Amino acid sequence: FHLNWDLLFLDTFYSCAMYNNFIEQLRKKEIEPIVNLIDFDFLSYNKREAIDNIESEEKISIFIEIIEKIVSTFKYNVQYYIVLNHTTEYLKRRFFKGTDVDNLALHETVQNLLNLYDKSVQIIKSINPYAKVSVSEEFNVDEEDQLDLVFSFIDVIVRGESPFFEKIAFKKSDIDFIGINFNDFTSNSEEYISLIRELSEGKNNIDLDEVIKRCSSKYNLPFLITQNIATAEDDSLKSRYLVNNLYKINQSLENNVKIFGYIYNSLSDVKINNHLLKTGLYRIDDKNRYISLRNFAKIYLNIIEDNGINERYLKYID
């Protein structure tokens, strides 16, 4: 889950207590929490602007101070942190507009984000030496080659370099795993049906096999796969797509690929521009607010329970 920074800035003490209580409830149910500290998809405009302008110890300390309070509250209850999420997508939206790129401004912002990441990791490791840290990014096979030619924040963190900055070396950062946000990028039933047909014919361009293959060869690190399935109304289509992906992940684990987790990251439906995207594992009735588990979600949970997938993941990260 990601943190609400507007709430954290408004009342840090209350927010920390609220999140800590939530984590304790997860622990009681034997659910391992993975905390997204700064997620650019859920960061308000004012907070993004504040991060863009981190140029001094004084400015970075605003975020670091709160992160230290958060991690100090969680202590050993949280073992996995995604420090920065969707960073490349945010930098692309901000700096890559057509053919014009402000290289100096991009480099300064990247360096500021690296400083924020490194300081956050130092805090996490000092409070909980056993904690694992990561950055997470959107990954699309069709875009991955383009990103290599443009900019990849994971490259900066893992390798200390980026093809975009050919003559600039960054200090390599401490990182234990990488997060891969893999989505099918479809938005309606017609596209989703087409995707399923391509899957059955082995012609799908956005293929989890290819994502796993590229990540394994490019980064010698365990990786966490997250996914938000498309918004098709038909549960059977969602189920087929989900079963297909879980099968591929299970095959990869048998081949000793360093996958340590797979997350379906939408418990409930999401509303965007007054349009409800039916992505959730759970259905909420608008009239009586009754919550029920969707059929494809039952299949998802049964596969994981029956195959002991959780236990097979852990050997790559513990």
CATH of the domain at 137: 3.20.20.80
Task: Based on the fold, state whether residues 126 and 263 are members of the same structural domain.
Answer: no
Task: Based on the fold, state whether residues 4 and 55 are members of the same structural domain.
Answer: yes
Task: Based on the fold, state whether residues 202 and 311 are members of the same structural domain.
Answer: yes
Task: Based on the fold, state whether residues 249 and 317 are members of the same structural domain.
Answer: yes
- Number of alpha carbons in the 13 Å side-chain half-sphere of residue 209: 9
DSSP-derived 3-state class of residue 261: strand
Give the span between the Cα atoms of 235 and 295, in whole angstroms: 7
What percent of the chain is modeled with pLDDT above 90?
Answer: 18
Task: Based on the fold, state whether residues 226 and 161 are members of the same structural domain.
Answer: no
| Under-70 pLDDT residues of the chain | 44-48, 50-59, 97-99, 139-151, 163-168, 183-206, 227-234, 265, 268, 270-277, 300, 303-318
Q: Which residue type occupies 307?
A: N
Q: Are 185 and 194 in contact (CB under 8 A)?
A: no
Q: Which structural domain range is residue 2 located in? A: 1-175
Predicted pLDDT at 279: 72
Give the span between the Cα atoms of 105 and 112, in whole angstroms: 11
Predicted pLDDT at 159: 79
DSSP string, 82-121: EEEESHHHHHHHHH-BTTB--HHHHHHHHHHHHHHHHHHH
Predicted pLDDT at 212: 83
- Tokens of residue 295, six digits: 């059929």
- φ/ψ of 64, rounded to 5, equals -60, -40
- Who contacts 213 (Cβ-Cβ below 8 Å, separation ≥6)? none
Predicted pLDDT at 304: 62
Task: Based on the fold, state whether residues 161 and 215 are members of the same structural domain.
Answer: no
C-alpha closest to that of 116 among 72, 160, 62, 152: 62
Task: Report which DSSP code applies to 316.
Answer: T
Predicted pLDDT at 128: 96
Could you give the number of structural domains in the chain?
2
Residue where a domain terminates, one of 146, 175, 204: 175
Bridge partners of residue 259, in order along the sequence: 223
Task: Based on the fold, state whether residues 66 and 200 are members of the same structural domain.
Answer: no
Predicted pLDDT at 213: 82
Task: Based on the fold, state whether residues 35 and 4 are members of the same structural domain.
Answer: yes
Give the span between the Cα atoms of 227 and 302, in whole angstroms: 18
Task: Based on the fold, state whether residues 131 and 197 are members of the same structural domain.
Answer: no
Q: Are 31 and 23 in contact (CB under 8 A)?
A: no
Predicted pLDDT at 48: 67
% helix / strand / coil in the chain, to the nearest 5?
A: 50, 15, 30
Task: Based on the fold, state whether residues 9 and 140 are members of the same structural domain.
Answer: yes
Task: Based on the fold, state whether residues 162 and 203 are members of the same structural domain.
Answer: no
